[in-house]
Amino acid sequence: MARYVLRRAGQAAVVLLGVSLIVFALMQLVPGDPVRVALGTRFDQETYDALRARAGLDQPLPVQYAQYLGNALTGDLGVSFRSGQPVTASLLERLPATLSLAGVALLIALLIAVPLGLISATRSGKVSDYVATVFSQIGVSIPDFWMAILLIVLFTSTLGWLPPSGYVPFTEDPVDWLAHIVLPAVTVGVVSGSILTRFVRSAVLESMGQEHVRTATAKGLPGSLVLRRHVLRGALVPILTVTGVQLATLLGGVVVVEVIFAWPGLGRLTYDAVAARDYPLMQGAVLMFAAVFLLVNLLVDLLYAALDPRIRY
């Protein structure tokens, strides 16, 4: 087990190195010059050169990359062009809002997907299956920005129950935190949940077709017991896989929802960084997403072993 984790960590390091190199190379290919953006429409050559030199952009590319990599190893991802703030700190600042949104949204997604998927699968072909399918179809098809606006119109403008936007840290006021997180989390959760529902349905269906399930039913075990002990357990591994991917995606930030709900998450930070060609911040954000993705995947793989006795590392 320990050796397995160590080996995976080693692989992750190689992947991250590759990601950093690719990202660095891509930045050079993207048209648009960060110094020009920083200066806006007012432009003169001297100011331009001065700012370029200050940002270290006049150095040869390999030198820039080597410096970047060296600093990154010590946890220093450089300084943002746009804000002049350290990239690492800027990313970490946004982490709590992103974590809470991803967490609550995923919870909502699972609360939707697991029961709906189960109903769908166990009552395959019946009316409730169709209802569940239609629901998940709608959830996937509705654009999230539109659903967000509808929710705001309903719960804020019409009912006046919830604040339309903004973020309050949990540590500051848990009730206010909840009031602010509901709408964005539901928006994200319904979309994620709808996607997950289909996976849960097919995983459960597949699991129901397994021989040991037929044996259990033939033994005369009650349906609920078969479902809990044999079907669900078999279906958990594929469900966990998709859930892991969903979580990793959400942790990367949900740009549209963050923009609409004025949520101080990583998605908006990254989006702004791309628009301003803020290379250090872009690189840092991509590296962090890659790291989060690898970490979540590793955890998922380790959980497999806990859930399925057939898997051992």
Closest alpha carbon to 268 in 173, 184, 193: 184
Distance CA 249, CA 265 (A): 13
In terms of C-beta density within 10 A (0-12 exposed, 13-18 middle, 19 or more buried), how is residue 96 classed? middle
In the set 235, 254, 260, 285, which binds another protein (CB under 8 A)?
Answer: 260
Q: Shortest gap between Cβ of 39 and another protein (angstroms)?
A: 5
What are the CA-CA distances from residue 212 to residues 199, 217, 218, 226, 227 (Å)? 21, 9, 10, 10, 12
Cα torsion at 55, 59, 61, 64 (round to 10°)? -50
Smaller CB distance to another protein: residue 267 or 300? Answer: 267
Total residues binding another protein (CB under 8 A): 77
SS3 252: coil
In the set 76, 176, 206, 301, which binds another protein (CB under 8 A)?
Answer: 176
Smaller CB distance to another protein: residue 4 or 135? Answer: 135
In the set 10, 18, 166, 209, which binds another protein (CB under 8 A)?
Answer: 166
Q: Shortest gap between Cβ of 212 and another protein (angstroms)?
A: 18
Which of these ranges, 68-76, 105-113, 205-213, 238-246, lies near another protein under the rule CB under 8 A? 105-113
Q: Shortest gap between Cβ of 207 and another protein (angstroms)?
A: 14
In the set 72, 116, 208, 242, which binds another protein (CB under 8 A)?
Answer: 116
CB 283 within 8 A of CB 77: yes
Residue 118 binds to another protein (criterion: CB under 8 A) = yes
Distance CA 107, CA 171 (A): 20
Closest alpha carbon to 105 in 312, 269, 212, 254: 254
In the set 23, 72, 152, 254, which binds another protein (CB under 8 A)?
Answer: 152
DSSP 312: -
Residue 259 binds to another protein (criterion: CB under 8 A) = yes
Residue 157 binds to another protein (criterion: CB under 8 A) = yes
Residue 250 binds to another protein (criterion: CB under 8 A) = no
In the set 100, 102, 167, 292, which binds another protein (CB under 8 A)?
Answer: 167
Residue 133 binds to another protein (criterion: CB under 8 A) = no
CB 279 within 8 A of CB 86: no
Q: Shortest gap between Cβ of 254 and another protein (angstroms)?
A: 13
Token reading at 101: 């949104």
Distance CA 102, CA 258 (A): 11
Q: Shortest gap between Cβ of 48 and another protein (angstroms)?
A: 9
In the set 12, 16, 27, 179, which binds another protein (CB under 8 A)?
Answer: 179
In the set 13, 25, 50, 66, which binds another protein (CB under 8 A)?
Answer: 50
Residue 287 binds to another protein (criterion: CB under 8 A) = no
What are the CA-CA distances from residue 293 to residues 141, 204, 252 (Å)? 26, 26, 9
Residue 87 binds to another protein (criterion: CB under 8 A) = no
Paired strand residues for 79: 86
Residue 227 binds to another protein (criterion: CB under 8 A) = yes
Residue 161 binds to another protein (criterion: CB under 8 A) = yes
